[in-house]
Amino acid sequence: MEQKFGDNPVEVRDTEHYKDEYNEGFVDKWDELINWDSRAESEGNFFIDALRQRGAKKILDVSTGTGFNAVRLVEAGFQVTCVDGSAEMLAKAFDNGWDRGHILRVVQADWRWLNRDIHGKYDAVICLGNSLTHLFKERDRRKALAEFYAALRHDGVLILDQRNYDAILDEGFSSKHKHYYCGDTVSAEPEYVDDGLARFRYEFSDNSVYHLNMFPLRKDYTRNLMHEVGFQKITTYGDFDPNYDPSNVDFYLHIAEKY
């Protein structure tokens, strides 16, 4: 199933476009890309431990995708509500949960109007798998982060990750290395990058090719926005390590405390 990027794909810089990008074809492939077993191995118990240390029980996963984090947290005993703006993603998450013996609580909602559809307050909001990158306007990012803030209890925590775009933007094309997932079966590489767009190309074992157009969030920019919407303390890890070398990190993870 083809994605629709039109005649000039690098001009597609639109917050709404994620729903077209995660079409049925790409959603079906997503689990090959993220490979649940190897992802569980590389994450270890980082999120479970971080949430338990803070006494969090009620978790809002705002970028559920196909349900990897939500299912792991349910299996670890957390009470999880699964949000995503993409109906295709949520349907897949529900099926994945069902196959593992769980009935996931799913809510379709756009982050920018999250609290219209979500009621009650949560101990933690998680936004993982490089998701905030889908918002192309600063106004949208502020609105989404403010909605995450509002969904939290007074001492709640936001856990949000992002790709290390600083390295991609600053160190030129040579550093934009190809990432192989699931052994060599899936490759992901930046095809085009400028200050306003990172267009990644994903090629799967059956030779099908999909793309994502994303906004290249710089680490300090994301941290500042989180401060500006009200988060008091933000701790950033590089590939799960508090002591990291910025040019060798693939992913940053921010833990933003409300209190």
Residues making contact with ligand SAM (CB under 6 A): 18, 22, 34, 63, 65, 68-69, 84-86, 89, 110-111, 128-131, 134
Maximum separation of any 2 CA atoms in the chain, in Å: 50
Write down the least CB distance from residue 130 to ligand SAM, Å. Answer: 5
Cβ nearer to ligand SAM, comparing 55 with 126: 126
Rounded Cα–Cα distance for residues 249 and 241 (Å): 9
| Closer CB to ligand SAM, 38 or 247, in the complex | 38
* Residue 66 DSSP one-character state: T
Q: Could you tell me the sign of the dihedral formed by the alpha carbons of 164, 165, 166, 172, in that order?
A: positive
Q: How far apart, in whole angstroms, are the C-alpha atoms of residue 120 and residue 106?
A: 15
**Cβ proximity to ligand SAM, 134 vs 258, nearer residue:** 134
Q: Supply the minimum distance, in Å, between the C-beta of residue 134 and ligand SAM.
A: 4
Q: How far is the CB of 235 from ligand SAM (least distance, A)?
A: 20
Q: Which residue of this chain has its Cβ atom nearest to ligand SAM in the complex?
A: 129
Q: Which residues contact 145 (CB under 8 A, 6 or more apart)?
A: 132, 158, 225, 226, 229
CB neighbours of residue 85 within 10 Å:
23
Cα 54 to Cα 123: distance, rounded to the nearest angstrom: 9
Task: For residues 114 and 228, give the distance between their C-alpha atoms in angstroms, rounded to a whole number.
Answer: 19
CA separation for the pair 160, 101 (Å, rounded): 27
Q: Which is nearer to ligand SAM, 114 or 193 (CB)?
A: 114
Output the smallest distance, CB 129 to ligand SAM, in A: 2
Amino acid symbol at 14: D
For residue 85, the minimal CB distance to ligand SAM (Å) is 3
Q: Which is nearer to ligand SAM, 98 or 247 (CB)?
A: 98
Q: Which is nearer to ligand SAM, 89 or 159 (CB)?
A: 89
Shortest CB 34 distance to ligand SAM, Å: 5
Query: What does the alpha-carbon distance between residue 191 and residue 200 come to, in Å, rounded to a whole number?
Result: 5
